[in-house]
Structure 1
Amino acid sequence: MPPVVSDEYRARKRSEIIEHALICFAEKGFQAATIDDIVKHSKISKGSIYTYFKSKEEIYIALMNEKTVSSTERLIEELTKYDNAIEKISFIFDVYKMQAGRGTWMDTVKVHTEFYLHASRDPELRQLLIDRAETYYNSVIINIIEEGKKTGEITSKSNPDVLARLFWSIINGVGFQYSALEEQYPYEEVIEEAKEMFIASLK
């Protein structure tokens, strides 16, 4: 009989595989990296990896879900400290502004961008990304915009859905530029300018 392992052990092993996979994806690119690369980097056997994941796509989806859920929960908790919609929007811009120079974040942006392109050719993966954006990211901004419209901080002409997509297009676009060009790109200055322009459009 195979050894019985606890849920805690399984969760820890999954997280270990995910973290090593992120490093491999960032170093070689999502398309080029293989399960064998993850085996080599993690020292975890291929059989063990396939016990938890069927493919590198499945590993990335687990990675993405894990980081998305935890980061969104933290963000929503932090937003409760702010009294109005404009302050909340400003805070979210500042959260991303502070990511400059953080290697793990830049690696995640690179891998995420490449996976987006990969998923664009696969209807199931593309739908997964759409659902993720709607469930976690867009809904946060939509709720803030709607809150601001009710209090009169934000113009009633604002379209929450369009503004949410615009917000994340700015964040993702700037993040992609910075991850590709690194210190050659004035990341913090661009984020600050984008924040001022976006907030001005709400009033």
Structure 2
Amino acid sequence: MMSPKVSDEHKEQRRRQLLDAAERVFIRKGYESATMKDFVEEAEMSRGWIYLYFSSKEEIFAAIVERMDADNTKQVENQLAQSSSMWETVAALLDQQKEDLAESSSSMASVMYEYFISGWRSEERKAQLAGRYASGFGIFTTLIEKGIERGEFKPTLSVPLIAKIIAAQLDGILTHTLAVGHEQAEVENQIDALIAYSKQLLGVVHP
């Protein structure tokens, strides 16, 4: 007797359920301490179901990061649709970091920090980090270039350098937040200062 065919929709639902469970485990236990057994128990699935989708913790982590990146891309697109200017988009995305950083110690941000710091000797992780770095300042590069095309920005430095400065500042604020906490890192003040500095670097013509 043939086993019933599982629909694609059901498979995708199971996959989301597994990734949601794995994300909770990573946040609770950290990357290094989390195990496939933890994911099985948290998702309340059989090991067979989990290994149908992923063969390792590394694959699950990569899938969660990919989902986060897709959500971030959607956030940028939504902000572009809602904003009347490119500067408004840039400022709003930076301002959103106040809320994101307030939750950083209990989000995947702390797990990703652990992943890259603990694996800094790994060539694979270094390559992944380089890719994420390029992606991070790539978003700002695109926004700045669009602002220049529209005549909204007259930057004082090269576009790639400004994008790297913004991305590096955000990474630094995240590191401070994870190290000493949101309040002591003065996240709101740092972000406000970064917004003001970014406006100066971009030479905003239409604020």
Both proteins in one fold, TM over 0.5: yes
Q: 1:158 is paired with a residue of what secondary structure?
A: coil
- Per-residue CA shift, 1:28-53, capped at 9, x if unaligned? 11011111111222222222211111
Partner of 2:18: 17
Q: Provide structure 1 residue ranges, at least 5 long, that are not aligned to the other structure.
A: none
Distance 1:120 1:3 in 2: 46
Which residue identity lines up with residue 117 of structure 2 in the other structure? Answer: L
- Alignment: residue pair count: 201
Calculate the TM-score normalised by the size of structure 2: 0.82
Partner of 2:112: 112
Q: Provide structure 2 residue ranges, at least 5 long, that are not aligned to the other structure.
A: none
Partner of 2:76: 75
Deviation at 1:172, TM superposition (A): 2.6
Partner of 1:87: 88
Partner of 1:99: 100
Query: Conserved in 2, the CA contact under 8 Å of 1:97 and 1:192?
Result: no
Q: Choose 48-57 or 169-178, whichever is displaced more.
A: 169-178
Partner of 2:172: 173
- Distance 1:119-1:73 versus aligned 2 partners, 3 A rule: farther
Coordinate RMSD, CA, aligned: 2.5
Distance 1:80 1:158 in 2: 27
Partner of 2:138: 139
Calculate the TM-score normalised by the size of structure 1: 0.84
Partner of 1:198: 198
Query: Conserved in 2, the CA contact under 8 Å of 1:109 and 1:176?
Result: no
Deviation at 1:165, TM superposition (A): 2.1
Deviation at 1:77, TM superposition (A): 2.7
- Per-residue CA shift, 1:17-72, capped at 9, x if unaligned? 11111111111110111111112222222222111111111101101111211221
- Distance 1:2-1:51 versus aligned 2 partners, 3 A rule: farther
Deviation at 1:154, TM superposition (A): 3.2
- Distance 1:149-1:14 versus aligned 2 partners, 3 A rule: same
- Distance 1:31-1:161 versus aligned 2 partners, 3 A rule: same
Distance 2:22 2:165 in 1: 31
